[in-house]
Structure 1
Amino acid sequence: MNELEIQGAYVEIIYDQCQKFNPNFIKSSFRIIRKCYYKLNNLNIKYHSQFDQWDKEWDYLLCINGWSIDPILLKKIKTLNPNIKCILYLWDSLKTFRFNCLFPFFDKVYTFDYQDSIKYNIDYLPLFWVENKNGNHSEIKYDLSFIGKLHSDRYEVIKKIEKYCRNNGINYYFKIIITNRGSNIIEYIKHLLFKLKNRGQIDYRYDLLYGKIIDPIISFNYVDPIVAQNIINASRCIIDIEIPEQSGLTNRTIQGLGYQKKIITTNFKIKNDVLFQNNPNIIVIDRYNPIINTEAISQNYSSDKPNNTILEKLRIDNWIKIILNMKKINDMIVFK
């Protein structure tokens, strides 16, 4: 929103809220029942009826994902604004949600996932990065750093990397954040299902949520943004541990490269990425047996021209121009 306003737009934001029982999740059970319930109760329409922005005149609609946006709503927007340009940007994968049901209602569709772009014949555009206001010239204190939320096997991978760092004299700062413990009953049911499916294995997520594992790298509060920025500035390399089924590049990857930091990632699919496959600043490691080349992380960030050109295009001011395909921005609504 800030960048759009800098470029001259009047912007309104409608925050996207994923409704319960949404049938478009790939892994949702009882999908037919969910679909009927969803349609009969018009959940998305009820959610968006609280906003009055739809009755104004708009030049652009930029939809980020659109978990709750509905074809009925899109038809209404286009009826009120016959000349509106509608752009959909996906920074979640079509492996997790059926976003493609919205494609016919948009003039342009972009995705952050290179594999999805090929499979669904849509435009590939990685996430943006924002310039570091404090500069990239802080004194280096850490060879590696990681700050991120708990998900999937992230804790186990970080612990393996931590052990490797200790054994090889690598300085590091790791912090995994837990901000929502969810419903006790639901979490306990998930825990029981995990134990039935994975006999003998430790359910790290459950044990961390309920204090059965005490670890200084775990925080139940967000890291202050200024503190997090200072840690990134003081790091030589940024670690990226993606959700296993995800192939799209995380914001951490793009932002880190924008800050001229090396990226150590478990996302091996980056090797096939048309934009980043030959980037010398990206080091891919095995999430099950993470071995980090100490010589590689000690080398300076490579500022070769092709990779700098890509990152220049992905800086947020240029990213906005690409996604809207325009030189001047007027009134628009952002659905986020």
Structure 2
Amino acid sequence: MIDLNKVENFFCGKKILFIAPKFFGYEREIKNRLESLGAQVDFYDDRPSNSAWSKFAIRVIPQTQQGKIKKYFSALLEKHSSGYDFIFIVKMECMPAEILVGLRKQNPEAKFIYYSYDSVKNNNNFKKSIELFDSAFTFDDEDAKAIAGIKLRPLFFLNEYRDLPIGNIKYDISFIGTAHSDRYLLLQKIKSAMPDESFCGFFFLFVPSKYIFWLKKIFVPVFWHSKKSDFSFLPMGKKDVLSVISQSSSILDFQHPNQTGLTMRTIEMLGARKKLITTNANVKRYDFYRKENIKIIDRENPIIESEFFHTPYVDLPEELYEKYSIDGWLREVFSIPDKN
């Protein structure tokens, strides 16, 4: 069990500079939890803008954004300069290495911590700066094996998932997620693979804008036969997400085909004690894997037997639920000593 008094005592009065991209509100949840544990947290976005164009340009034509990025982070260095106990950076897609060097000089006693929920092997910006961190973590076990100095630490679930009511099942299977890579095509295959017509599913695919939808429909083959009505252009609120999950017997999960790490949804279903159907075979490597709870399907030919839905969920040792909670994640990432 996590010693909450120990966690609270550790963070009480600590000053943290937290730099991360906005990722579905999880950056806000991390900040809120740190503050509820007694820390003083200054949050700074890792991107100078979150417009669809800016995100596209940063990833595809980054040279066009360098002046904007440098100006943005120079302002951070002036405003948030010193006196921190921790500099906590997630992903580091944009922040230039020289800004990190500047923060190091102004905070010589601070511990610098890195975490990535994305594939590190594709992030050259971080790889140039890895030696500037005291500790670094990734959600991707392949990255942890391949890159010296970075440790594996899967993602976490929020306390709301552990507190979801059990019962009142409305859906046999549900999916809520962003329509990236081949997810649209996969959902069409899943609908065809449902065990029988009596199965009820809930499927929600999010596209950030109609402009992006039309670009995908023109240039991305898997979207050629899609319709606007297949997607939502507004994200689902957390309250509604939790409601759908609480009413679902099992949850679908499709990781990006270029990633091996476990998605946030995988860990959330652990917290919610829900069955999971996933395309990520790497889940077998993890300590919480039980074949009664997790069904692995093939991306090209997904098959879902009805028996999976009829067998009961198998409860896990309580220490595993604690390990993958947000407090367990913070304990490991911030290297909080065990109570022993």
**TM range, smaller chain:** 0.7 to 0.9
Q: Which residue in 2 is equivalent to 1:199? A: none
Structure 1 residue 46: Cα displacement? 1.1
Q: Which residue in 1 is equivalent to 2:4? A: none
AA partner of residue 309 (structure 2): I
Three-state SS of the structure 2 residue aligned to 1:66 is coil
Q: Which residue in 1 is equivalent to 2:10? A: none
**1:205 has 2:230 as partner:** no
Three-state SS of the structure 2 residue aligned to 1:82 is coil
AA partner of residue 257 (structure 1): L
Contact persistence 1:18–1:67 (CA under 8 A) = no
Q: Which residue in 2 is equivalent to 1:264? A: 277
Unaligned runs of 5+ in 1: 195-202, 329-336
Q: Which residue in 1 is equivalent to 2:131? A: 104
**1:80 has 2:80 as partner:** no
Selected match of 1:63 from 74, 89, 92: 89
Q: Identity of paired residues, percent? A: 29
Residues paired across the two proteins, number: 300
C-alpha distance in 2 between matches for 1:322 and 1:79: 26
C-alpha distance in 2 between matches for 1:144 and 1:23: 36
Structure 1 residue 180: Cα displacement? 2.1
AA partner of residue 49 (structure 1): S
Structure 1 residue 68: Cα displacement? 1.2
Three-state SS of the structure 2 residue aligned to 1:301 is coil
Q: Which residue in 2 is equivalent to 1:10? A: 40
Three-state SS of the structure 2 residue aligned to 1:89 is strand
CA change 1:152–1:23 in 2 (3 A) is closer
Structure 1-normalised TM-score?
A: 0.80
**1:89 has 2:109 as partner:** no
**1:123 has 2:151 as partner:** yes
CA change 1:123–1:219 in 2 (3 A) is same
Q: Which residue in 2 is equivalent to 1:143? A: 172
AA partner of residue 223 (structure 2): R
> Where does 1:150-299 land on structure 2 (aligned, <5 Å)?
150-165=179-194, 167=196, 169-182=198-211, 187=215, 191=218, 203-205=221-223, 208=226, 213=227, 215=229, 217-271=230-284, 273-276=285-288, 280-299=292-311
Deviations 1:14-54 (A, max 9, x none): 011178699996xx68x9xx4xx77xx55432121233442
Three-state SS of the structure 1 residue aligned to 2:159 is coil
Unaligned runs of 5+ in 2: 1-30
The CA RMSD measured in Å over matched residues stands at: 2.9
Three-state SS of the structure 2 residue aligned to 1:55 is coil
Contact persistence 1:141–1:235 (CA under 8 A) = yes
Deviations 1:54-109 (A, max 9, x none): 22311101101011122211111111111010000011002432232221110001
